[in-house]
Amino acid sequence: MLDVLKVRIYPNKEQEISLAKSFGCSRFVWNFYLNKTNTQYQETGKGMTYCQMAKDLTQLKKLSDYEWLQEPTAAVLQQSLKNLETAFKNFFLKRTGFPKFKSKHSKQSIRFPESCSIKEGSLKLPKLGLVKVSLSKTVNSKIKSVTVSKTSTDKYFAAILFETDKLATKKQGKISGIDLGLNSLVTVFDGETCYKVDPIKPTRKYAKRLRVRQKSLSRKVKGSNNRRKAIKVVAKVHEKISNTRQDFLHKLSRKLVDDNQVIVTENLCVKGLARTKLAKSIHDAGFGMLLNFISYKLEREEGNFIQVDRFFPSTKLCSCCGHKNDLLNLSIREWICPGCQTTHDRDENASRNLRAEGIRILSTNTVGHTEIQACGEAVRLVGTCTKKRVSEKQESPATLRDSISGGVSIF
């Protein structure tokens, strides 16, 4: 079993220079062979494989104009070629877009695929030696690889991929239905109680600070040192927003996973929602990030994560009698069922219906699909239950759980 630990590292001046050279060489190799592969494909109709690119790189480093490629460790440059080949595979399998050229002004990263270890509380990397690191937990097993990255605010991080013998225990807990929204980020119903968690809205919280920094940046002359400093100041505000959102979602997902054995949510089309007039609020809430956190944390603890089909009318169905209210719109937050005269809170009713649908899916061992349509009989369900596209990643420690594992006790 593989696990990942992301930590912050503090290289000294010499190590920073060495990392900068490695970042630059890795970026050059990616861009050089991306361009060469494109040119060869236009001329012959065939691209370059990893073996062809690695063989050509060996000859390239022998030329006098490219001797500087010998400064970083060879494994880093070879890993860059492997990443490029993987990017092309994902493109041809229609998992992602066409590979793009890398820029030195964006986030930089390299991977050390071998010869990495932890000694004396420091991280030992090839040609860098011992690098000061802030470890949140001990890593006593074999390290498979280390990915070193540098943010736009000049902070260095290392993602350590290592083997672990820790076996997940069978998780015991409740079955909860979770409805996502903007007024209440999550509405959770566990069969007995229902509670809501409000979003923190970090983008709006730091909007004034960001506006002041961006105004200052706009007054700086392009290419000047003051502009470069102002860019870093703006980047720190964006980093603050990102860190605040991730910290909140990590804590929320951890609480939900600790309290529940099965979590049922709706399979939202986040990309589609992000194209509406609520795009800013959708991105600020981080729906996709929250679902991703819940998914992999539940998988590590052998829980079940169920996503009900997005066309299931969780909001319009009465959780008591099953009556469907087609007249319900987004402006109505509470409604009375015409069939049983029950007063419903919109979000709470949706979470109850999602939980009931999740139990039905578990009991029948079917996929999260229902024949009941959310928007009337004219809605087509073609293509709504296709498998989620996941990019191939080398030695990925965990994957999203879209299928339902058997053998889970629900009663």
State the catalytic residue, choosing from 85, 190, 266, 357.
266
State the catalytic residue, choosing from 309, 347, 348, 357.
347
Helix axes 50-60, 13-44, angle to 10 degrees: 120
Q: What is the pLDDT of residues 330-366, one digit of tens each?
A: 788 888 888 888 888 888 888 988 988 888 888 887 5
Q: 319 near 356, Cβ under 8 Å?
A: yes
Position 231 scores a pLDDT of: 92
pLDDT (average), residues 15-27: 94
Q: What is the pLDDT of residues 127-170, one digit of tens each?
A: 999 999 988 888 888 899 999 999 988 899 999 998 887 655 66
**What is the domain extent for residue 259?**
174-198+247-364
Helix axes 207-218, 225-259, angle to 10 degrees: 160
Contacts of 137 (CB under 8 A, 6+ apart): 5
Q: 410 near 175, Cβ under 8 Å?
A: yes
Q: What is the pLDDT of residues 120-136, one digit of tens each?
A: 889 999 999 999 998 88
Q: Is 71 a catalytic residue?
A: no
Q: Is there a domain that residue 396 lies in? A: no
Q: What is the pLDDT of residues 95-105, one digit of tens each?
A: 889 999 999 88
Q: Is there a domain that residue 351 lies in? A: yes
Q: Is 334 a catalytic residue?
A: no
Q: What is the pLDDT of residues 398-410, one digit of tens each?
A: 433 343 344 433 3
Q: Is there a domain that residue 409 lies in? A: no
Q: Is there a domain that residue 91 lies in? A: yes
Residue 252 and residue 134 in one domain: no
Position 212 scores a pLDDT of: 96
Measuring CA to CA, which residue among 173, 192, 198 is closest to residue 352? Answer: 192
The whole-angstrom separation of Cα 16 and Cα 392 is: 30
Domain count, the chain: 2
Position 157 scores a pLDDT of: 95
Q: 374 near 317, Cβ under 8 Å?
A: no
State the catalytic residue, choosing from 85, 179, 284, 299.
179
pTM for this one?
Answer: 0.78
Q: Is 309 a catalytic residue?
A: no
The whole-angstrom separation of Cα 299 and Cα 262 is: 11
Position 362 scores a pLDDT of: 85
